Structure formats: C-alpha cells, structure tokens
Structure 1
C-alpha cells in the first residue's frame, strides 16, 4: 500500500467525512461476539473510535505514523504502525475486521489471507468506501470535469476501484452482503475546498508542481470557478457510501 496521506494528515483528520450510524448498526448486526475488533488502515482512527463503543478491545493499524499521531486515544484502542497484509496479531484474534476507504490500495489477495489468519471462525469482514459526491445540476459538471480532467491523471491507478465500487476486487467470503448508505453534509465553499485538498490526487499534483506558483494549487483555481455558482452560503453535499460484508 503506498503511503499517500502522511504529508497531509492534519487536513485529513479535520476535513474528511465520517460514516453514518446506520452503517455501523448494519454491520454490527452480523457480529456474534464483541470481544475484539481490528480496524485496518485506520488513518486518524475515526472508525476505531466508534468500534471502541461496542468492543472490549480495538486494534487499529495504519502504515502512517503521521496519521496515527492525529488519532483519538481511548483506553480500549491500541494503535499500531503495520501494513494491512502482514500484522503482528495472533491467529484467530478478531470478531470483526473493518477497512474504510482503503482496501483498493492493498494487495487484496494478501490482505484477505491475513484476514483469514487473524479472524475467528464466523468473524465478519466489512469493507467500504465512497465515490464522487453530488451537489446539484449546476455544480456537478464543473466538479466532474475537475475530477476526471484537471486532476484525473494524478490519481493512483487503483482509484478506479472506488469508481467501480469494488466490484472488480475479489471477495471470497461466505454470506456476502452489499449495501449502500448516504452521508449528507452542509458546507461552505471554503470547507468544501479544504475537503478536496485531502484527495491524494490533489496532493500529488501540488507536490509535482510545487515550484510553479501559477499551478501550485489546483483547488484554488477550481474555487474561483465555483464561487459565482456556489454563492456565500452553505450547500448540501451527498456522499454515496458502498459497503460489502462477508463471514469467515
């Protein structure tokens, strides 16, 4: 898994969305025991913090120490720097394993072998993500053009799996379930633009053009285009979340 997020861990912690209670209620309904959970690629720990309310112990891993430095500490969460595909955990440790907005970065086959090793018989594996958001018929075409054309070449090739909702990634588990959820946020333009700056493609663009002041921040130019349409108030934004779940 490439480390595409350490350099902007602060932005990521402050401006990324969280996930709806309905998603957690749904996946927890499949979990038989709640002794121990593993949140893989935890980032700043937003999923781990929710799981800590339901499990005796949560282990949360990420390859980025910078991300983990932003994570919320809780007595029953243990944060570890570790790749997804090779962890320090004993065999058959977990009742639930979660991955939010990250499995497309993994060696999926190796990760799923690790899931089978560290998951208990009957444990739940839940993987989810969210694709391009929607606002309205005026703003959406401008944003889609930015997504595909302006910073499209700067996405890692694995980004295609988000657009495909993981349908081309293997998932050879039992009792597979899929579900969709909606996350709504009401943001100012400034708040929205800072969210866009958390995109790995935007950060790659900025890094490659850091010596070119006219092209340094593509989000700033987009903001100038959006301002006349957006206005001075807040806009409703819909993030479509997709989930797949299986049983070991």
Structure 2
C-alpha cells in the first residue's frame, strides 16, 4: 500500500470533502449486528468517527503516522498504524469493513484474504470513492484540463481505478448492487484552492518544479466565481459492497 498523503496531511484533514449521510444509511441497512467495525486506511478518521455513532467499537488503521496524528478523537475508536494487508486483529472480529477512497492503493489479493480472515461470517465489506468534482459548465473544463494535462503526469497509476469506479478491481465477495451518491460542499474559491493543493499529483508537481500550480488554476476560475461567494461543489460517489 502506498502512502502519498503524509506530506500534506494537514491540508488533507482540512479540505477533504465529507461523505454523505445517505451513503452510510445505505451501507448500515445491511449491517444488523453492530458490535465492531474496521475502517481501513482511515486517514484522519473521517469514516471511523461516523461509524463510532453506530458500533460498540471501531478499529481504524492507516500506514501514515502523520494522517493518524490528525485523526478525529472518539472514545470508542482505536487508531493504530497498520498496513491493510496484514493487521493485528483476531479472526472473526468485525461486522463491517470499510475503505473510503483508498482501495485502489492496496495489494488486492492479500487484502481481501485479510478481510475474510478478520470478518465474522456474513459481515459486510464496503469500499467507495469519489470522482472529479463538478461545479459549472464554465469551470468544469478548466478543472479537467488541470487534472489531465497540468498535474496528470503526477497521478499514480492506481488512479485509473477511480476513473473506472473500481469496476476492474477483483471483488471476491457476494456483491450487493449499490446506487451512486453525491458529496455536496458549499465552498469559497479559497477553500477550492485548498482542496486542489491536497491532491497527491499537485504535491508531485511541486516536488519536481518547486512551485504550486494551483494559483494559476484559481486565477482561471476566478472570473466565474465572484470574490467571497460560496458556490456548490459536487463530487459523484460510487460504491462497491459485498458479503464476506
């Protein structure tokens, strides 16, 4: 599993969008027993903190110490450093295993074997991701050009799995059909720029060229975004879910 987010862990915690309530409502419909959940690649604990409202205990793991240092504290959430494919958990522990915007970084075969090992019979596995944001017909092409042509060479090859909505990732579970969802944020132009700066590809660009390409993009967007105005930003969310 790759760690591409430790460097910008503070930006990641501050600007990453939060997942919609409807996503969790749908997943939890399929989890009648809510004793223990594992949120794998938890990052700053965004998902684990939500699950803490529904489960007696939540184990949350990540390979980034810096990300875990930004994690949201909850009394029934235990954060620890661990790779996705090899964990310290006992067999048959979890009723739910979740992965938010991270499955594409894993070694799929060993990871799913670990999911099967630590899950109770009939447990649910849910992995989701979000696509490129949508704002308006004027702004979206500018963002797409930035995504593909400016920082495009700095995306890791695994990024293709997001573009394919995880359709081509091996899924050795009894799959449950799932709808698509949407994350909706109301952001200022400054917040939008903060989000772009949290991209791993932007950090790669900065490492190579010594400058941040985001201000140029924001300058292109600014004619369509009045100063100080809050505008709706939408992220399409896809989900793959199955029984262990």
Q: Is the 8 A contact 2:126 2:241 kept in 1?
A: yes
Unaligned runs of 5+ in 2: none
1:173-198, CA deviations, whole angstroms, 9 ceiling, x for partnerless residues? 11422221011111111110100111
Q: Is the 8 A contact 1:179 1:244 kept in 2?
A: no
Secondary structure in structure 1 of the residue aligned to 2:17: coil
Unaligned runs of 5+ in 1: 211-215
1:245 paired with 2:237, answer no
1:52 is aligned to 52
CA RMSD of aligned residues (A): 0.8
The CA deviation at 1:36 is 0.3
Secondary structure in structure 2 of the residue aligned to 1:49: helix
1:149-208, CA deviations, whole angstroms, 9 ceiling, x for partnerless residues? 010010000001001100010112114222210111111111101001111111111122
1:231 paired with 2:239, answer no
TM-score normalised by the chain length of structure 1: 0.96
Q: Is the 8 A contact 1:99 1:127 kept in 2?
A: yes
Secondary structure in structure 1 of the residue aligned to 2:135: coil
In structure 2, how many angstroms separate the alpha carbons of the residues matched to 1:175 and 1:224? 44
Q: Is the 8 A contact 1:151 1:205 kept in 2?
A: yes
Deviation above 4 Å: which 4+ runs of structure 1? none
TM-score normalised by the chain length of structure 2: 0.98
In structure 2, how many angstroms separate the alpha carbons of the residues matched to 1:166 and 1:175? 13
2:82 is aligned to 82
**Which sits farther off after the overlay, 199-208 or 97-106?**
199-208
Aligned length: 243
Q: Is the 8 A contact 2:131 2:235 kept in 1?
A: yes
**Which sits farther off after the overlay, 67-76 or 118-127?**
67-76
Q: Is the 8 A contact 1:189 1:234 kept in 2?
A: yes
In structure 1, how many angstroms separate the alpha carbons of the residues matched to 2:199 and 2:96? 28
**Which sits farther off after the overlay, 185-194 or 121-130?**
185-194
1:219 is aligned to 214
Secondary structure in structure 2 of the residue aligned to 1:168: coil
In structure 1, how many angstroms separate the alpha carbons of the residues matched to 2:48 and 2:124? 15
The CA deviation at 1:78 is 0.5
1:200-232, CA deviations, whole angstroms, 9 ceiling, x for partnerless residues? 11111112222xxxxx00101111111122221
